[in-house]
């Protein structure tokens, strides 16, 4: 049977790396559109993967990726924008998703998988992030089933080698002296393992039951943010007092941190954290518990370093 070709937008990020690897293992030809191919040469270790230089906002570059593809996958997303009015979120989540969908239609790609987020809701979303994610998802599904089959995935926070959630806390726990001031300590999450998330993507490609569906993805256990940070501290062997901030101090921290370059925490993040990131019903099983995986990468060799060693073994620089 002819190998299918999959074109990825956002394939250079954390989820993208894991997804590319599973797609290649499952026998797909994989193409990734990369704004900076030089920075993403680690992907080249995957047999047959094609890195295509381009900007996903440019229809011509989208065409380079999508022509001849059987499946498109959109993973592009941001957690913070430059301003704070929602314009940046709208550009990346809504405008870009619309452009990608249009290009799929123009180039007759019959299947599109779209990454959204748990609690995404165009009308009631707690933050710009969640509202724009919801708006993009709704737009996709107004088209689904006509000329293209669309499936959306809505994960809680994702963990795994290279994540920016537990790894970020691990890093901060090592750097911040004495005690650790934690905003929104009672927010709840059902962390989901990245390999379970990408498995849901891969197995849905040819499954007609998933066409036009939206799937919430949650791991098997629910934790408060405080529990997750305490677990991270124990796992990396850091003894630190974690001080859960009350609501007013969490807001203050968000306001201050959004002035720091790179916005490590923002008011929009604070608003997202006001809603528990847990599934009401879990229709797609993501069975891997955090405790089975996190010790293998937290505080150990960094994922990128591991990819470098694969590359060296494969004689690819």
Ligand X SMILES: NC(=O)c1ccc[n+]([C@@H]2O[C@H](COP(=O)([O-])OP(=O)(O)OC[C@H]3O[C@@H](n4cnc5c(N)ncnc54)[C@H](OP(=O)(O)O)[C@@H]3O)[C@@H](O)[C@H]2O)c1
Binding residues vs ligand X (CB under 6 A): 10, 12-16, 35-36, 56, 75-78, 92, 115, 117, 155, 157-158, 165
2 DSSP assignment: P
Nearest distance from C-beta of residue 43 to ligand X, angstroms = 10
- What's the token pair of residue 62? 């989208």
Tokens of 164: 């920016």
Nearer to ligand X, 76 or 148 (CB): 76
For residue 28 the two structure tokens come to 């797909």
Task: Map residue 98 onto helix, strand or coil.
Answer: helix
Q: Nearest Cα to 150, choosing from 116, 190, 127? A: 116
Specify the residue, 130 or 177, whose C-beta has the smaller distance to ligand X.
Answer: 130
Q: Nearest distance from residue 230's CB to ligand X, in Å?
A: 19
Q: Which residues have a Cβ under 8 Å from the Cβ of 316 and sit 6 or more positions away?
A: 44, 45
Quote the least distance from Cβ 217 to ligand X, whole Å. Answer: 8
Q: Which is nearer to ligand X, 20 or 148 (CB)?
A: 20
- Between residues 96 and 182, which has the closer beta carbon with respect to ligand X? 96
Residue 56 C-beta: closest distance to ligand X, Å: 5
Dihedral of alpha carbons 309, 262, 226, 224, sign: negative
Residue whose CB is less far from ligand X, 14 or 231: 14
Nearer to ligand X, 29 or 93 (CB): 93
Q: Which is nearer to ligand X, 57 or 211 (CB)?
A: 57
Smallest distance, Å, CB 131 to ligand X? 13
Buried b (16+ CB within 10 A) or exposed e, 253-283: bbeebbeeeebebbbbbbbbbebbbbbeebe
Smallest separation, CB 177 to ligand X (Å): 28
Strand order in the sheet with 5-9: 50-53, 29-34, 5-9, 71-74, 111-115, 149-155, 214-217
Where do we find the tokens 């593809």?
69
Per-residue DSSP letter, 4: P
CB of 129 vs ligand X, minimal distance in Å: 8
């Amino acid at each position: 049977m002819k190998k299918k070709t999959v074109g990825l937008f956002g394939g250079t990020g954390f989820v993208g790396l894991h997804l590319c690897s599973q797609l290649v293992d499952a026998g797909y030809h994989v193409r990734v559109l990369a704004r900076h191919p030089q920075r993403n040469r680690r992907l080249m270790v995957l047999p047959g993967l094609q890195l295509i230089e381009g900007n996903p906002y440019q229809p011509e570059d989208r065409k380079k990726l999508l022509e001849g593809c059987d499946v498109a996958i959109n993973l592009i997303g941001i957690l913070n924008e430059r301003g704070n009015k929602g314009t940046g979120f709208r550009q990346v989540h809504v405008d870009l998703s619309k452009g990608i969908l249009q290009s799929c239609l123009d180039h007759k790609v019959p299947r599109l998988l779209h990454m959204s987020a748990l609690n995404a809701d165009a009308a009631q979303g707690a933050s710009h992030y969640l509202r724009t994610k919801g708006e993009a998802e709704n737009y996709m599904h107004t088209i689904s089933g006509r000329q293209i089959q669309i499936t959306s995935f809505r994960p809680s926070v994702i963990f795994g080698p290279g994540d920016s959630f537990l790894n970020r806390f691990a890093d901060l726990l090592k750097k911040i002296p004495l005690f650790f001031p934690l905003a929104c300590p009672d927010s709840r999450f059902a962390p989901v393992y990245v390999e379970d998330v990408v498995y849901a993507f891969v197995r849905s490609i040819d499954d007609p039951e998933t066409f036009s569906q939206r799937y919430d993805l949650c791991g098997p256990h629910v934790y408060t943010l405080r529990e997750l940070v305490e677990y991270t501290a124990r796992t990396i062997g850091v003894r630190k007092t974690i001080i859960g901030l009350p609501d007013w101090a969490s807001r203050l921290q968000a306001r201050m941190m959004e002035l720091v370059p790179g916005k490590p925490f923002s008011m929009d993040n604070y608003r997202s954290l006001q809603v528990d990131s847990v599934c009401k019903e879990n229709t797609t099983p993501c069975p891997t518990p955090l405790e089975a995986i996190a010790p293998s990468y937290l505080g150990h060799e960094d994922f990128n370093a591991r990819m470098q060693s694969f590359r060296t073994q494969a004689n690819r620089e």
